[in-house]
Amino acid sequence: MSGTDLKKTYLCIGASSDVCSEYIGHLVRNNPAGITVLAHSFSRQGRFDELKKSYPESEIVDLKADLSDADQVEAMIRIIRDGSYDIDHFLFFPALKFEYMRLKELDLQRVEKSFAVQAESFLILAKEFFPAMKKKENARALVMLTSYVADDMPPKFMTDYVVAKYALLGAMKAAAAEYGGGKLMINGISPEMMDTSFLEKLDPKVREMSLYKNGKLLVPSDLFETMDEMLSEDFAENGTNRKICIS
């Protein structure tokens, strides 16, 4: 990381996901003077305890909220506001654990919960933090999407996940149109299938097919170079969705 990334404050939503938690470690290790990370999670508290001990020059603040509950999102916002944190980097990586859902077996409650966790909570947080961020030099926001919204056709039997990700893509674009393009750049990344705990319920045959096709699955560190680029002060694109493929 460059010296311009020092002393930044990162608000990381979905910080306990494999990608975001490993990226936070990457950020902390590459900023020896220290950064501030506001690390939101819901069910995996304590994930950063060892990182805090190893890198005391960085401040990692644990936040907990169920993103499907708007009241809990608002309560988390109040905690951040009361801490007077000056946020200049926003990472949004939450999602429900993957489960198959056929349209003919539609579970609207799960669709609504997935929408709330991703699109609705993003809109609430964007409304709160982006007006101030757009006034800060080199502010950046990055949203985790999926290659399914970058490809012509998503896979079958992923109704709630696909619906939520398309909604989040629209929310990201709307925020970029209203708040981005000046000092604040708001963008998304859409990786292909990744080898993370998110897919622990994926049919092994699907994983095997992807391995046969591509030779490997992406791992979190495969995204870091692109994420570093899109969060850097030199990245001047706004409202884009960068697909990340297996090379």
Per-residue pLDDT of the chain (247 residues; tens, 9 = 90+): 333 444 799 999 999 999 999 999 999 999 999 999 999 999 777 889 999 999 999 999 999 999 999 999 999 999 999 999 999 999 999 999 888 889 999 999 999 999 999 999 999 999 999 999 999 999 999 999 999 999 999 989 989 999 999 999 999 999 999 999 999 999 999 999 888 776 676 766 666 666 656 678 899 999 999 999 999 999 999 999 999 998 7
Phi, psi of 175 (to 5 degrees): -65, -40
Residue 125 token pair: 């947080």
Q: What is the CA radius of gyration of the chain?
A: 17
Burial 139-148 (b: 16+ CB within 10 A, else e): bbbbbbbbbb
The pTM assigned to this predicted structure is 0.92
Interior angle at CA 43, CA 145 and CA 148, nearest 5: 15
Phi, psi of 149 (to 5 degrees): -90, -5
Going from the C-alpha of 169 to that of each of 95, 100, 234, the distances in angstroms are: 13, 21, 23
| Single-letter amino acid code for the residue at 83 | G
CATH ID of 3-244, from 3.40.140.10, 3.40.50.720, 3.30.2310.20, 3.40.50.1220: 3.40.50.720
User: How many helices (H) does the chain have, and how many strands (E)?
Assistant: 8, 7
In 3D space, the residue among 236, 122, 143, 125 whose CA is nearest the CA of residue 183 turns out to be: 236
